[in-house]
Amino acid sequence: MDAILAQVFTGISAGAVLLLIALGLTLTFGQMGVINMAHGEFIMAGAYTAFVVSTITAGTELSLLIALPVGFLIGGLLGLALEASVLRWMYARPLDTLLVTYGVGLVLQQVARDVFGAPAKEVPAPDWLDGSIPILGYDFPLTRLFIILLAAGCVAALLAVLRFTALGREIRATVGNRDLAETLGISTRRTDRATFFIGSGLAGVAGVALTLLGSTGPNLGTSYIVQAFLVVVVGGIGHLKGTIVAALGIGLLQAFLAHALTGSVAQVIVFLAIVAFLQLRPQGILSVRTRSLA
Amino acid sequence: MKTSKIKHSSPYAGWLLLAIALLVLAPAVLSDFRLGLLAKYCCYAIAAVGIGLAWGRGGMLVLGQGLYFGLGAYAMAMHLKLADAGPGGVPDFMALYGDAAVPWWWEPLRSGAVAVVVILVLPVIVAGLLGLAVFKRRIKGAYFAILSQALAAAFAILLIGQVKTTGGANGLNNFQGFFGYALFDPANKRMLYFVAAGILLVSILAMAWLHRSRFGELLVAVRDGEERVRFLGTDPANVKLAAYVVAAVLASVGGALFVPIAGIVSPDDVGVVASIGLLAGVALGGRASLLGPAVGALLVGYAETSLSEAFPGSWSYFQGALFVLVILLLPGGLAQLVGMAKRTVAHRERPALEEAAAR
Amino acid sequence: MRTKISSRLLAASSVLALGMTATACGGAKTGDTASSESCLDTSGDTVKIGFLNSLSGTMAISETTVFKSLSMAAEEINADGGVLGKKLEIVSEDGQSEPTVFAEKATKLIQDDCVAAVFGGWTSSSRKAMLPVFEGNDSLLFYPVQYEGLESSDNIFYTGATTNQQIIPALDFLKQEKKIESIFLVGSDYVFPRTANKIIKQYAAANGIEVLGEEYQPLGSTDFGTVVDKVKAAGADAVFNTLNGDSNVAFFKEYKGKGLTADAMPVLSVSIAEEEVPGVGVGNLEGQYTAWNYYQTIDSETNKEFVTDFKAANGAKAVTSDPMEAAYTSLHLWKGMVEKADSFEVADVVDAADGVTYDAPEGTVEVDGENHHLAKTALIGQVNGEGLIDTVWSSEKPIEPDPFLKSYDWWKN
Amino acid sequence: MTLTVNDLRVEFDGFVAIDGVSLTLEPGRLHFLIGPNGAGKTTLVDALTGLATGSGEARYRTRDLLGLASHTITRLGVGRTFQTATVFEELSVLQNLDIAAGVHRPRWRLMLPRRGTPERVAEALETVGLTALADRPAGVLSHGQKQWLEIGMLLVQNSAVMLLDEPVAGMSAEEREETGELLRRISPERTVVVIEHDMDFVRRFADVVTVLHAGKVIAEGSAAEIREDAEVQRVYLGDTVADMTETRAEESA
C-alpha cells in the first residue's frame, strides 16, 4: 500500500515535470505545426538563467522566484528570435522545421558549453524548499511539491490567457481556423509571434524548475525533448487537456514500471506503449473533427 | 523526348564519376587509415541512399533509421563475435559480464549464411510490421517522425540495459576476422573498402532504377498528394510501406558493413543523435536527387572528421548551421545548385518549350 | 536507354570485381598472426605523443580536466628538457564521448600521426573500444581512470585504481568503521556499475552483509523518484553509489529532499571527485563518503606543488582530482619507462616498465610489470563544507594491484 | 452503370450534413447537382467515395460503397475530382495520367519503368486536349488545364461513374465551353455527375438536375423544370443573406 502510494506521488510529480515541458510545445506545435526541437535548448536556457540569477543574487531566498519570470522572458525572447529569423519562412514546410530547429538546438548547446563551460552548474534550492512534508504518511519533497504547484499554476495562467484576454481569443481563433481568423481581421503574423513567445517562455519556466531536480548542463534539454514530444503526440496535438492527461498518465506508468522493473526497461516499455497507443488512437487522447480533406 | 533524355542521362554520368572517384582515385591516393574512414562514410552513405528514397521521394521523415542501421550492425557484430569464439565457444565479453552462456537468440548467428539472411530479412520484418501498423492507421508527418525517433531511442536504451547479452554501452568490438579474413591485415581492410564502395554504387544504381520505375513515380505522387492517390485506386500506405522497407534494408546493410570496417558498434551509433546525423548528409546532398544523399553523406562524413581534428567541439556548430542553412535556403541541397547551374547553361533551349507550355 | 544502362552496369560490376579480387588475394586469413610496423619517427629533436579525451559530448565535463592536467605534465617535462633529450609534441584528438570515435581517433593517432604513446580515455566503453586498436597496432595507451578491473592488456597501462584498490577497501571501511550489516546498491545502467556490484555482492555474501536492493537507471537519467523511494523503504545501513555524471545530481537532490542524511544512511560514491562536487551541490553532498586514491587535500609537498601549479595554469577556482592526478602521473611514468629503456620502441618500454616509480601527488606509485597497473594507497574521504574531500581512512600501505581478484578467495567470476 | 443512393445520412458532431438523400444516378446522361452553399453537395460526394462516413446505402453493381476504403471504391470504377484541382505538380502530365492508369496493371509491373505512352493514356490525352503538353510538369498547367487533367485521370481509370466537384469554377468563358463539350463527349458511355454553381452552365449542358438544400433533395428534373420550381426559387432567393455566411464556413472547412 505504501509502495503504491509512493509511486502515485512519484508518478504525479514526474508527470508534472513532463507537463511543464510539454505545455509550451502544445502551443507551438498545436497552433503553428512547428516541430520545435530547440524547445529542449530553451529549457536549458531557462536553467542557466536560474544559475545566473542565483549567482547575481548570491543565493538569496528569493532568487528562485526572481528566476521564474526572467526565465520566461529569456525563453520567450529566444523563441521570438527563432520565429522571426527562421521559422517564419517555413510555415509551408512544417516537417522541415524539425530539422532546422534541431540544428538551432545543436548550436545553442555548443554556445552554452562555450559560455558556461562543460561542467554542470549547481543551482542551490532555497531553504524554504528544503526537506519534505508528510502527506498520508509519505514524505513528499517540497521541491517536487513546488513543481506540481508550478505546473498547475502555469496551466491555470495559460488557460486564463487563452480564455479571458483578447490575445487569447485571437490565438484560439487562429488555432481553430487560420484562414477564417485572417478574414476576420486578426493579424496571424502577430498571433504567431505571441504564441511562440508564450510557448517558448514556458520552456524557460520549465528550465528554472528543473534546476530543483537535477543538474544544469548543456545537455539538459536533449534528455527531455523526445519524451516531451511523445506527451504532446499522445495528448493530441494542440490540446491542453489531452496534454495534461498524457503527461500524468505517462508519469504514472513510468513510475509504476520503474518500481516493478528497472528504469531502463520501464523507459523502453513506455515508448512501446505509446507506439501501441497511437495505433488505437492515431489522433491522441483528444481529437478534433474537421470537415477538411487531407 | 529530348528533355527526358537530358534529365535521365546526367545522373548516370554522375554515377560514373562517383564510381571512378571511389574505385580508382581514392584507393590510389589515400593512406590505409583514410581509406578506412572513407569506407565508414560509404556505410553511412548506403543508409543515406535509403533515406533519400523514404524521405526525399516518399516524404516520410525517417528520424529513426539508427534502429535499422543497428539491427544490421548488431547482427553482423554478433556473428563476428561468435565466429571469433569458434564452434561452441562463448564471446569474450559474455564470460566477463554474464554467466558465460550464449543466449538462444545468439546461436543462429554462428552461421555466416544465417547472419547475412538476418541482416537482409530482419529489417524487412521489423519495418514491415511497423510500417503496416503506422501507415495503415494514416499516422504521418510529424507523428511518424516523432514515433520513429522514439523507437530509435528505445532501441538504444534497450541495448544499453542488456549488458550481458549486448555489451551494454560498450557495444561489441574486438573482432578478429570477417568471414575467414583476418581484420588486422591492411589488405583485407582494403577489400572491405571495395565491398562497401561497391555496394554503395550498386545501391545507387538500384535506386536509379526505382526512381525511373512506375513505383518511383507513384511514390512521388504519394509524397505530394497522399489523399489524392487514394482516388486513383491505390492505397498510399502500401507505396509508403515499400519505400520504408527498402530504406530499412539499406540502413541495415550499411550497419552490417560498418561493423568490420569501424571495428565496433555501440548504442551511440544507433540512437537518436546518430539517426539524425544520418539525415545531415541527405539534406546537404539533396534529398530527392539520385546521387545527392550518397554524395552528401560522404561529404558530411569527411567534414566531420576533418573539422573535429582541426577544431574539437566545432562540429556541433557546423552540423547545426548545416541543418539550418541548407534546409532553410537550399531545401533541394547541392543537387539543387547543380540543377540551377545546368539550367543556366541550357537556358537557350528553354524559351521555345516555355511558350508551348504557356500556350 | 535500357541497353545503355545495363552495359554500364556490366562495366561497373566488372571494375568492381576486378578491384575486389586484386585486393582480396593478398589478404591474411584468420588465425595468422599480426605483425604491424610502427611508423614512429625518432630522428628529429621532438617526439610525438597523443592525447585522446572527449572535448565535446556528455563526457567533456570530466575529460576536459584530464586533458588540462596532461597538458600541464607535458609542459613540465618539456621545460625540464623533454624525454631522452627530445621535446614532446602533442597531438590532441577529441573522442566526442562516443566509443566509435575513440576507436577511430586512436587509429588515426597511431597510423597517421605515428605517436609514441597515447594518453586518455575515461569511460570503460572508450577503453574497451580502444583496446583492440592498440593491441592490433602494437601501440601504447595510458588510461588514467579507476575502472571495473578484470582486464589486463600488454598495450595498456592502467594508472587509476582497479577494484581491489578502491571498491574493496571502501567495503572494508564500511564494514570495519561503519559496522554496516546491510547495503543498497545504486548505479547507472552500464558495465562499470554492473561489474562493480557483482564484486560487491560476492564480498557482501562472504562478509555477512545483506544486500537489500540493487537499482540501475539509464545513463543520463535524471528521474530518481522511484529509486530513492526504494532506497528509503529498504532502510539499509549504507548506500553504495556507482552512478555516473548528471545522474548524481538528481539522485542526491532527491535523496536530500526525501529527508535522507549522511548520518542516518551514508552514501559512498566511487565516481564523485572534487570537480563533480560543485555540480551536485556542496549542500547535497556534505558528509557523504567517496573512495579514491587521491584528494586535493593530501598534505604533502609534492601535492601542494601540483595543486599550486594547476591553479596557476587554470585559475584559482580550479580543483584537482583523482583522475587528473592519475593522468598527470601517467605521463611522468611513461617518461620514466622510456628513460629506463633508453628507447621509444613499444616493446622496449613495456620490458622496462616493471618497477618504475614516480613520486606522485598521491604518494609514490610503482608500476607492476606483470599486469600493467600501479600499486596505490586507498583513501576514503568525506565531503566537507567547502566542497573538498578530507581523508578519513586509508589503507596502511599501497595496495598491490590485483585486477582479476586472484587473492580473494570469495571471488568467482 | 447505375449508382443508387438510398436514405443516405452523414453527421459531423451532431450536425446533420446529409439528411436522408435518395438518388438514382444513371449512365448516359449529364447529371448536375446544384444547391446553395452548405447544402451538402460535396459531402454527398465525400460519402460516396469513402471520405466521410455515412449511414444508409449506396449500391453500385453488387456492392454498398459506404464503408469501403477510398482506393477500393476507385478500383470498382467510381472516380471523383476535387474543387481545387489536385494533380501531382512535380510529375509530368503523362506521368499523372500513367499513375491513374495503374489500376489496370498487375502490381509487379510497378517495378518496371514506363516505356512510351500507353494507349489508354494517349487516348485520354487526346480527349482532354493535353497531348502537346504531355511532357510538361503538371505544376505549370493553367487552372483549367489542371481540371481537364483530372478528368483525363478518370478517363484512363476508365471510371464508369465520375463525380466532378465544380470542374468549371474559376475558368474563362472559353474554357467553360470546352469543358462542357468535353463532358458531353464522355457522358454517353458513363454516369457523369457534376456539382455546379453556375446556373448558366447548368442550363446549357444538364440532362438532369438535382437540387439539394440543407442536406435534403428538394427537386429533381430537367433544367427548365427546376427553374420553374417554387421551392427552388424560394431557397435560392430567400437565402441570399444566409448564403454569405455559409460561404465562409464552407471555404474554411
Question: Across the interface, do A289 and D12 touch by the CB < 8 Å criterion?
Answer: yes
Q: What percent of chain A has pLDDT over 90?
A: 33
Q: Does A179 contact chain D (CB < 8 Å)?
A: yes
Q: Would you say how long chain D is, in residues?
A: 253
Which of C191, C199, C202, C243 is the best residue to mutate to test the B interface, defined by the most B CB atoms within 10 Å of its own CB? Answer: C191
Task: Give the integer Cα–Cα distance in Å for D94 and D241.
Answer: 45
Residue B233 near chain C (CB below 8 Å): no
Contact criterion met (CB < 8 Å) for C191 and B161: no
Q: Which residues of D touch A182 (CB under 8 A)?
A: none
Give Cα separations from D143 to C42, C84, D170 (angstroms): 77, 83, 8
Q: Around Cβ C397, how many Cβ atoms within 10 Å?
A: 9
Single-letter code of the amino acid located at D182: L
The answer as to whether A288 is a domain residue is no
Task: Give the pLDDT mean for B22-47.
Answer: 95
- Give B94-140 pLDDT, tens digit per residue: 877 777 788 999 999 999 999 999 999 999 999 999 999 889 888 88
D83: its cell numbers: 474543387
Each residue of D193-214: pLDDT tens digit? 999 888 888 888 999 999 998 8
A263 touches chain C (CB under 8 A): yes
In a domain? residue A9: yes
SS3 A275: helix
Partner C contacted by B114 (CB < 8 A): no
User: Per-residue pLDDT for D145 more than 80?
Assistant: yes
Q: How far is A118 from chain B (nearest CA, A)?
A: 11
Q: Is the pLDDT of residue A1 over 70?
A: no
B221 vs B217: CA distance, rounded Å = 6
- d(Cα B285, Cα C12) in Å, to the nearest integer? 23
DSSP calls for A102-147: HHHHHHHHHHHHHHH-SS-B--PPPGGG-SEEEETTEEEEHHHHHH
Residue type, A45: A
On chain B, the residues whose CB falls within 8 A of the CB of A99 are: 61, 276, 279, 283, 323, 327
CB–CB of D253 and A290 under 8 A? yes
DSSP B358: H
Question: CB atoms < 10 A from the CB of C2, how many?
Answer: 9
Q: Report the range of poorest mean pLDDT among A256-260, A262-266, B18-22, C31-35.
A: C31-35
Q: Any idea how long chain A is?
A: 294
Residue B226 binned pLDDT confidence (cut-offs 50, 70, 90): confident
First to last CA, chain A: 49
- D119 touching chain A per CB within 8 A: no
Q: Which residues 12-71 on chain B approach chain C with CB closer than 8 angstroms?
A: 12, 15-16, 19, 23-24, 27, 31-34, 36-37, 40
* Residue C90 CB neighbours (<10 A): 16
Is there a contact between B32 and C111 if contact means CB atoms under 8 Å apart?
Answer: yes
**CB of A148 within 8 Å of any CB in chain C?**
no
> How many residues does the structure list for chain B?
359
* Strongest mean pLDDT among B182-186, B265-269, C33-37, D240-244: B265-269
CA distance B182 to A54: 59
Contact B266 C129 (CB under 8 A): yes
pLDDT attached to residue B10:
61
**DSSP bridge pairs for B172:** B265
Query: Whole-angstrom Cα distance, residue B11 to residue C113?
Result: 38
Strand order through the sheet with C267-269: C210-217, C182-188, C238-242, C267-269, C289-292, C379-383, C389-394
User: Rounded to an integer, what distance in angstroms lies between the CA atom of residue D249 and that of residue A246?
Assistant: 32
Which residues touch B137 (CB under 8 Å, ≥6 apart)?
A: A278, A279, A282
Banded pLDDT at B17 (limits 50, 70, 90):
very high
Q: What is the pLDDT of residues B165-181, one digit of tens each?
A: 898 888 999 999 899 88
| Test the B interface: residue of C125, C134, C153 with most B CBs within 10 Å | C125
For residue B39, CA distances in Å to B43, C143, C266 come to: 7, 29, 52
Under a CB-based contact definition with an 8 Å cutoff, are residues A41 and A105 in contact? yes
Q: What is the total count of domains within chain B?
A: 1
Indicate if the pLDDT at residue D113 is higher than 80. yes
* Least confident span in A97-106, A171-180, B287-296: A171-180
- Top CATH class of C164-298+380-394 equals alpha beta
Q: What Rg value do the Cα atoms of chain D yield, rounded?
A: 18
Q: Indicate the residue type of D210.
A: T
219-258 of C, contacting A, C-beta below 8 A? 220-223, 225-227, 229-230, 232-233, 245-246, 249-250, 253-254, 256-258
Residue of B nearest to D76 (CA): B233
- Among the partner-chain residues C225, C259, C283, the one whose CB lies closest to the CB of A10 is C225
Q: What is the mean pLDDT of chain A?
A: 85
- Is residue D168 packed enough to be buried (19+ CB in 10 Å), middle (13-18) or exposed (0-12)? buried
Span C46-161+301-312+322-374 CATH architecture: 3-Layer(aba) Sandwich (3.40)
Which are the contacts of C242, defined by CB distance < 8 A and separation ≥ 6?
A: C185, C186, C187, C188, C192, C193, C196, C197, C269, C270, C271
User: Are C258 and C233 within 8 A, CB to CB?
Assistant: no
Choose among C203, C191, C99: nearest CA to B98: C191
Chain A residues with CB under 8 Å of C253 CB are 125, 143, 212-214
Half-sphere exposure of B327 (CA within 13 A, CB side): 29
Please give, rounded to a whole number of angstroms, the shortest distance from the CA of C277 to a CA of chain A: 9
Residue partners of C3: CB distance under 8 A and separation at least 6: none
**Facing C132 at nearest CB: one of B174, B191, B316:** B174
Domain that holds residue A24: 2-225
Cβ separation of B171 and C218 shorter than 8 Å? no
| Distance of alpha carbon B71 from alpha carbon A224, whole angstroms | 25
Under 8 Å CB-to-CB from D76, ≥6 apart: which residues?
A: D60, D61, D63, D65, D68
Show the domain range for B277. 2-358
Domain residue spans of chain D: 3-211+231-252
Mean pLDDT of A249-271: 86
Strands C363-367 and C357-360, by their bridges, are antiparallel
Cell 513528499 appears where? A140
The structural domain count of chain A equals 1
- For the beta sheet containing C118-120, the strands, ordered from the edge strand earlier in sequence to the opposite edge, are C87-94, C46-53, C118-120, C141-143, C156-158
Nearest CA in chain C to B258: C100
pLDDT band at residue D253 under the 50/70/90 scheme: very low
* Distance from chain centroid for Cα B65: 8
Q: What is the pLDDT of residue C34?
A: 56
Residues 6 or more apart from D199 whose CB is under 8 A from it? D34
Nearest to D188 by CA among D80, D4, D1, D27: D27
Nearest CA-CA distance, residue C224 and chain A, Å:
9
Placement of cell 427537386 in the chain? D219
Å between D149 CA and nearest CA of chain B: 13
Give residue D25's identity as a one-letter amino acid code: L
- The conformational region for residue C92 under phi > 0 = left, psi -120 to 50 = alpha, else beta, is beta
Q: What element of type H or E holds D208? A: strand D208-213
Q: List per-residue pLDDT tens for chain C, 413 residues long.
A: 444 444 555 455 555 554 554 454 456 776 665 556 678 888 889 999 999 999 877 787 788 889 999 999 999 999 999 999 999 999 999 998 889 999 999 999 999 999 999 999 998 899 999 999 999 899 999 999 999 998 999 999 999 999 999 999 999 999 999 999 999 999 988 888 988 999 999 999 999 999 999 998 887 777 888 899 889 989 999 999 999 877 888 899 889 888 899 999 999 999 899 988 888 888 889 999 999 999 999 999 999 999 999 999 998 888 999 999 999 999 999 999 999 999 999 999 999 999 999 999 999 999 999 999 999 999 999 999 999 999 999 998 999 999 999 999 999 87
- Report the residue from B209, B220, B229 with minimal CB separation from D90: B220
Classified as helix, coil or strand, C84 is coil
**Domain D3-211+231-252: assigned CATH number:** 3.40.50.300
With contacts defined as CB-CB under 8 Å, which chain B residues touch C24?
Answer: 181, 187-188, 191
The predicted structure's pLDDT at residue C16? 54
CA distance B338 to A293: 37
pTM of the model: 0.89
- Kindly state the average pLDDT of the residues D16-21: 88
CA atoms of C226 and C218, how far apart (whole Å): 13
Round to whole Å and give the CA distance between C214 and C323: 26
Q: How far is A108 from chain B (nearest CA, A)?
A: 9
Contact criterion met (CB < 8 Å) for A180 and D252:
yes
Residue of A132, A147, A215 to mutate when probing chain C, most C C-beta within 10 A = A215
User: With an 8 Å Cβ cutoff, is A290 touching chain D?
Assistant: yes
How far, in Å, CA of A202 to CA of A211, rounded? 15
**How much is the pLDDT for A35?**
87
* ipTM of the complex as predicted: 0.87
Residues D74 and A233: their CA atoms lie apart, in Å, by: 32
CB contact under 8 A, B170 and C94: no
CA-based nearest distance B43→chain D, Å = 26
